[in-house]
């Protein structure tokens, strides 16, 4: 067990908390008072510290900057009825971070290091967990190669950090998405199934092209044929087709989303019909034309359940039924939100109190 006293803590002189307008929190622009840092040197994690949030010295030769050797996670904490931090499925994020680390040739993060650094940091910045409806504390653990070497090799030095960010809604309205049939997010044998920074960096340009046409994001299709649906924006995607919840089956080009998994577990526990399988663009468009596709939504930590209002394909936009009529997506959102906030029963023991 990693003893908490091995994490040295230097506190801020003065908290920035009172500068924050919790009634109007944007996504991803405000950071809490402190951050956690650990160094990987000589084959072991060391120098665990919590320091005031701020810029960090990084070698200009670090492979993270040149070759994108960087991975991250995203999770959320909510303020519980007694002021406690309710963290949603942190062990799953820990496990996924290590899957990402393995693919990107980065060291394993022990469970105790991940969980204790997280709980110590959250305890220190507990006051930063918003209690406003729709808001939460977004937790961003990340790791990057910290070698001072611009040749390409497996690095030996790494930095693991956690920063905290009170956030409001990621999308303030139902989303408009366009099916992408030229650019590719991930290809078989690549890094699509892990949270590697480069997956997101490479997606910005195609998404920007769609945003310039009035869409919020893309629906990604497979890199070989562009005939099958994979993800939407930075989220997994699901559809209600003939009263069945259908989502693309996981492959090495699709991220195993923790929100996706939560949705599937809840839906199955309610006896809903659930299918994890290939969904062709043709099937989706036919279903939109015939009206058998009645709902579409993204599933992700940042955006939770993001209803899709409109799907663009080629020159045509297909509008889905109004969000107020969507019994499946709305039920999932309400239940998940209630579980995360400690207001509903947590049948799968997802919430960890810190
Ligand atoms: C998340 O949902 O946590 C994500 O990974 C989205 C993020 C890139 C903003």
State in Å: Cα 290 to ligand 1 middle. Answer: 33
pLDDT for the residue 83:
86
State in Å: Cα 28 to ligand 1 middle. Answer: 10
Q: Tokens 């409109």, residue?
A: 310
Q: Residue 99 pLDDT more than 80?
A: yes
Can you tell me the distance from the alpha carbon of 176 to that of 190, in angstroms, rounded to the nearest whole number?
A: 28
Number of residues that this document lists for the chain: 354
- Backbone torsions φ then ψ of 311, nearest 5 degrees: -120, 120
Ligand 1 closest atom vs CA 301: 2
Helix (H, G, I), strand (E, B) or coil at 66: helix
Q: Could you report the per-residue pLDDT of 194-224, keeping only the tens digit for each?
A: 999 999 999 999 999 999 999 999 999 999 9
Q: Could you report the per-residue pLDDT of 311-333, keeping only the tens digit for each?
A: 999 999 999 999 999 999 999 99
Q: Residue 274 pLDDT more than 60?
A: yes
Per the model's pLDDT, the better-predicted residue between 4 and 128 turns out to be: 128
Please state, in angstroms and as integers, the Cα–Cα distance from residue 73 to each residue in 25, 42, 52, 304, 336, following that order.
21, 25, 21, 15, 19
Can you tell me the distance from the alpha carbon of 215 to that of 310, in angstroms, rounded to the nearest whole number?
A: 9
Q: Tokens 């195609």, residue?
A: 206
Q: Could you report the per-residue pLDDT of 2-18, keeping only the tens digit for each?
A: 655 589 999 999 999 99
DSSP bridge pairs for 75: 139
For 223-251, give the DSSP string: TTTS-BEEEETTBEEEEEETTEEEEPPP-
DSSP code at position 323: G
Ligand 1 closest atom vs CA 28: 9
Ligand 1 closest atom vs CA 170: 9
For the question of whether the overall pTM of this predicted structure is more than 0.85, the answer is: yes
pLDDT for the residue 2:
61
Ligand 1 contact via 74 beta carbon (within 6 Å): yes
Q: Tokens 């209803």, residue?
A: 307
């Amino acid at each position: 067990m990693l003893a908490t006293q091995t994490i040295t803590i230097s506190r801020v002189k003065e908290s920035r908390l009172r500068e924050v307008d919790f009634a109007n929190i944007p996504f991803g622009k405000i950071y809490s008072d402190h951050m956690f840092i650990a160094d990987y040197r000589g084959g072991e994690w060391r120098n665990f510290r919590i320091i005031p949030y701020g810029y960090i010295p990084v070698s200009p030769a670090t492979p993270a900057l040149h070759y994108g050797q960087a991975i991250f996670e995203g999770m959320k904490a909510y303020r519980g009825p007694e002021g406690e931090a309710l963290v949603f499925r942190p062990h799953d994020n820990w496990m996924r971070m290590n899957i990402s680390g393995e693919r990107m040739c980065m060291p394993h993060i022990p469970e105790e290091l991940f969980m204790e650094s997280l709980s110590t940091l959250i305890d220190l910045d507990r006051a930063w967990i918003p209690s406003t409806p729709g808001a939460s504390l977004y937790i961003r653990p990340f790791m990057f190669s910290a070698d001072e070497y611009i040749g390409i090799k497996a690095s030996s030095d790494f930095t693991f950090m956690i920063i905290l960010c009170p956030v409001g809604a990621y999308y303030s309205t139902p989303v408009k998405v366009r099916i992408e049939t030229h650019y590719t997010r991930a290809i078989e044998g690549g890094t699509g199934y892990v949270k590697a920074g480069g997956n997101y960096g490479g997606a910005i340009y195609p998404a920007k092209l769609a945003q310039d046409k009035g869409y919020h994001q893309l629906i990604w299709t497979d890199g070989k044929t562009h005939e099958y649906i994979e993800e939407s924006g930075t989220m997994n995607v699901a559809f209600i087709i003939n009263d069945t919840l259908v989502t693309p089956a996981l492959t090495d080009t699709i991220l195993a989303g923790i929100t996706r998994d939560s949705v599937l577990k809840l839906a199955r526990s309610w006896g809903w019909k659930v299918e994890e399988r290939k969904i062709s663009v043709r099937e989706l468009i036919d279903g939109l034309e015939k009206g058998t596709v009645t709902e579409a939504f993204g599933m992700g930590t940042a955006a939770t359940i993001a209803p899709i209002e409109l799907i663009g394909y080629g020159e045509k936009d297909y509008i889905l039924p109004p969000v107020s009529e969507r019994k499946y997506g709305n039920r999932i959102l309400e239940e998940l939100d209630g579980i995360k906030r400690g207001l509903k029963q947590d049948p799968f023991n997802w919430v960890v109190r810190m």
